[in-house]
Structure 1
Amino acid sequence: MAEQQRRSRLDTPRDTRRQLVRRPAVDADTFGVFAEQFARFMGTASFLLYMTLFVAFWLLFNVLSPDGIRFDDYPFIFLTLMLSLQASYAAPLILLAQNRQEQRDKVIAEQDRQANTRAHADMEFLAREVASLRMSVGEVATRDFVRSELRALLAELDERDETSTTPAEDGSPPRTT
């Protein structure tokens, strides 16, 4: 029995694994918001102005200062390294911001498509309702039709009155109704 327990333990993988290095927990939304803010800032005139001032200061300081104070003795290799480092971080952050914007655009496009579908269905319903109302109105007597019928009846009554008030040809008195 002890041998069987030992064998079952060797056949079953361990549930827990020890991690030598723990990965830092990063909230994707928080980092995404940071990336969007960073990308938005890099697309401004302020950023270009700050970068220009930084590079100009770097150049002037390393050209005009004495040899002992310079921190970039070789022809601006450290400046090139700094700008490359900044670009290597900026590119993925900008791409992350673009991907998040693309996802938002997809959601908005889907919502617009659903709203358009609902509006189209509503318009079709209203068109059917208007058509049915037109058909119903076609069967209802209009004001002009009723007026013409009343005029015709009045004319017929006037015609009967005229025929009833004229003396009869046999000489008998006119009939009154």
Structure 2
Amino acid sequence: MGEKDRRDRHDRHDRSERHDRHDRAERRPESRVVRLDQPTDVRRRSFVRRPQVRQDAFGIFAEQFARFMGTARFLIYMTLFVIFWVLWNILAPESLRFDDYPFIFLTLMLSLQASYAAPLILLAQNRQEVRDRVVNEQDRQANARAHADMEYLAREVASLRMSVGEVATRDFMRSELRNLVEELTGDDDEDDPDTPGRPS
């Protein structure tokens, strides 16, 4: 009897383990299940995280920078800066000069500024082109709707003209009524025996 109970307990334990394994397999996320009918998701793990840049904020900064560079204020500020730089490095005492006559450091700074300004201006132009494209598409759709409305109104006006052409006008009704009255009075004159000139 004890052996039978032990075997029954062992069978129940095996069934419960199989049931638990089945439940765990069902609860496992689908992405972890290896399936032969789907391609594997290959992800490269990089040790250095890529910097996340908000494209919209950077584009707004590029547009503001390009807009500022296209103003007279920027040209005046840049001219004053270069004049001050050159005069300082020519007229100042030698111990205070930091960029002598060839002004190599000034040339390097202006080159760096130009190298950074060109991509920013291009980015601002690209954003402006995208905006212009959207505006042009909206204008095209508005023109198409206006053209369709004009065609519809033209068809309606033409149908109204055709229907008005078939409707009796006031002058036409007056002339018809006048003709009817004349016909009726003419018939009455013919039927009246007291009409002068009529043979008795």
Determine whether 1:80 maps to 2:107.
yes
2:170 corresponds in structure 1 to 143
Instruction: Work out the CA distance in 1 between the residues paired with 2:139 and 2:54.
Output: 29
Quote the Cα distance in structure 1 between the aligned partners of 2:79 and 2:123.
Answer: 25
Matching residue within 60, 63, 71 for 1:33: 60
- Please state if 1:61 is matched with 2:61: no
Inter-partner Cα distance in structure 1 for 2:198 and 2:100: 141
Q: How does 1:100-111 map to 2 (within 5 A)?
A: 100-111=127-138
Per-residue CA distance 1:4-43 (angstroms, 9 max, x = gap): xxxx9xxx88757241x22221000000000001001100
Contact 2:90 2:100 in 1 (8 A): no
> Per the alignment, in what secondary structure is the counterpart of residue 66 of structure 1?
coil
Q: What's the CA shift string for 1:58-97, capped at 9, x where partnerless?
A: 1111111011101102421111111111100000000000
Q: Answer whether contact 2:90 2:101 (CA < 8 A) is retained.
A: no
Q: Does 2:45 align with 1:17?
A: yes
Unmatched segments (≥5 aa) in structure 1: 1-7, 173-177
What TM-score do the two structures reach when normalised by structure 2?
0.71
CA distance in 2, matches of 1:39, 1:14: 41
Output the amino acid matched with 1:17.
Answer: R
Q: Provide the rounded CA distance (Å) in 1 between the counterparts of 2:43 and 2:112.
A: 41
Question: Which 5+ residue runs of structure 2 have no aligned equivalent?
Answer: 1-33, 35-39
Cα drift, residue 120 of structure 1: 1.4
CA root-mean-square deviation? 2.5
Number of aligned residue pairs? 160
Q: 1:67 to 1:122 in 2, by over 3 A?
A: same
Other structure's SS at 2:88 match: helix
Amino-acid identity (%)? 74
Correspondence 1:131 to 2:158: yes
